[in-house]
Structure 1
Amino acid sequence: MTAAGMGEHKTPKQYLDAQLNYTRPATDDAPFQGCRVLKSICPGNRTYYAAIERFDENGKRIYVTAVVCLVQWNPRAADGYIFGYKDMDEESGPVEAEASEAILELLTSSKHPWALDWRRRCYRNLKLKKRDLPDGCLIRFPSPMKFTDGSEHSEFRVKKEGRKTVLVPPSGYGRFHVSRLMERHFEIVREPKIAKTFFPAA
């Protein structure tokens, strides 16, 4: 859609929040529907995650579920179509599983296998991101990674440069950057500590 199509909303998050806050009176063909956003995020304007509360005509909660929207956002699009999205709920088993802990904690219980799998994947990704990656540690990926210079490596020494994390092969030659590093699977290699030898004074 164009900016005009988004109305007064200036960001994907604002637009999607508005779409998911609504009430629809009962008709002869459909019962009352009430929906409100309890918490939402849209990191990088790439994927929108929200905890959505469904409620009845009296405003009483029925359940809280998760909604995920794939977002296409290009404010400088030459044709003027700056925004698009595809929405699904957690029971559709979204591939994207980066919902925040604050959203996950708001969800009510579910027995749907795809929803449960999605929640497990979200918590797994949160656990990966919380790993401590100290400067100088050695990490190992399950298989070698190929880089633009043609080299392949599976082990790296972590080098912190301010907010930037650089990976250096154990040989010391080369400096590499791996996108979304903390979301990837790797192990922190426990290296043996070499005890210093002390010689008593004669």
Structure 2
Amino acid sequence: MGWTSMTSAGMAGHANPKAYLDDQFTYGRTLDGGGTRGMRVIDSAFVGNRVWYAAAEIIQDGEPQYVIALVCLVKWNPKARDGYVFGYKEMEESMGPCEADCPARILRLLSPTAKEHALDWRRRCLERLRMHGRKVTDGMRLRFPRPISFGDGHSGTDFIVMKKGEKITFRNGDGRGYYRITGFRDMSWTVVPETKVHRTIFAAAPAAAIAA
């Protein structure tokens, strides 16, 4: 499907994209042949101010059937000059969305599926969660599989983490410079074990025998 755009009036009183989409995808309809079919958003998240992820329960004749993932690309600009402050493009997991940073709590709510594109999307989400879950501490040395080049002429594979709160920057492998590596959590890298030099302690020599 294409993009749906609207002014703030079209959002029917909802204050933000998450509230609007939660309501938009919770509904019930009467079928022409009798019976009802609907959907209910169980949980959702608006990630990075650009993608809405949701676990949505499919309901048939008032009975829950299964839970799928919904993904909406979002454009949100409350100060848009043309008045169109909100736009979204809807997909569901079986369409194989490129966006794959769905929170773990939503993935845990989904029903088993045999749909190939949905399975691939779930695997990509889990892999991204794994990569973003890797622990990074101040002073840690990371090694990337390919050299990373910078404007100052430096190019290297080894970098030392400089962490202050949530802010992470790097020094080169020699402990010099000041570098930012955008999206490093999405990259492959390994931790270089720290080599520790231990002080050698020699056993005390036995006391000399005292001549009689």
Code of the aligned partner of 1:52: A
Query: What is the aligned-residue identity percentage?
Result: 44
1:156 aligns with 2:170: no
Q: For each residue in 1:71-102, what CA deviation from the matched residue of structure 2 results, as whole angstroms up to 9, or x when unmatched? A: 11122222222211111111011111111111
1:32 aligns with 2:36: yes
| Cα distance in 1, alignment partners of residues 180 and 194 from structure 2 | 23
> Matched residue of 1:45: which SS?
coil
| Cα distance in 2, alignment partners of residues 146 and 3 from structure 1 | 44
Instruction: Tell me the residue number matched to 2:99.
Output: 96
1:148 Cα deviation after fit? 4.3
| Cα distance in 1, alignment partners of residues 54 and 99 from structure 2 | 13
Structure 1 runs not aligned, ≥5 long: none
TM-score normalised to the size of structure 2?
Answer: 0.86
1:151 Cα deviation after fit? 3.6
Alignment partner for residue 109 of structure 1, among 109, 112, 116? 112
> Matched residue of 1:134: which SS?
coil
Instruction: Tell me the residue number matched to 1:146.
Output: 149
Moved more, 163-172 or 192-201: 192-201
1:150 Cα deviation after fit? 4.9
The higher radius of gyration belongs to 2
Instruction: Tell me the residue number matched to 1:56.
Output: 60
| Cα distance in 2, alignment partners of residues 23 and 40 from structure 1 | 19
CA-atom RMSD, angstroms?
A: 1.9
Alignment partner for residue 195 of structure 2, among 176, 192, 196? 192
| Cα distance in 1, alignment partners of residues 155 and 17 from structure 2 | 38
* Distance change (3 Å), C-alpha of 1:37 and 1:162: same
* Distance change (3 Å), C-alpha of 1:106 and 1:158: same
TM-score normalised to the size of structure 1?
Answer: 0.90
Instruction: Tell me the residue number matched to 1:11.
Output: 16
> Matched residue of 1:42: which SS?
strand
1:166 aligns with 2:169: yes
1:41 aligns with 2:52: no
> Matched residue of 2:136: which SS?
coil
| Cα distance in 2, alignment partners of residues 111 and 132 from structure 1 | 33
Instruction: Tell me the residue number matched to 2:124.
Output: 121
> Matched residue of 1:4: which SS?
helix
Structure 2 runs not aligned, ≥5 long: 1-5, 206-212
Q: For each residue in 1:163-197, what CA deviation from the matched residue of structure 2 results, as whole angstroms up to 9, or x when unmatched? A: 21111111222212223432332211223332222
| Cα distance in 2, alignment partners of residues 155 and 8 from structure 1 | 52
Q: Following TM superposition, where does structure 1 have runs of at least 4 consecutive aligned residues deviating by more than 4 angstroms?
A: 199-202
**Aligned pairs, number:** 200
Instruction: Tell me the residue number matched to 2:133.
Output: 130
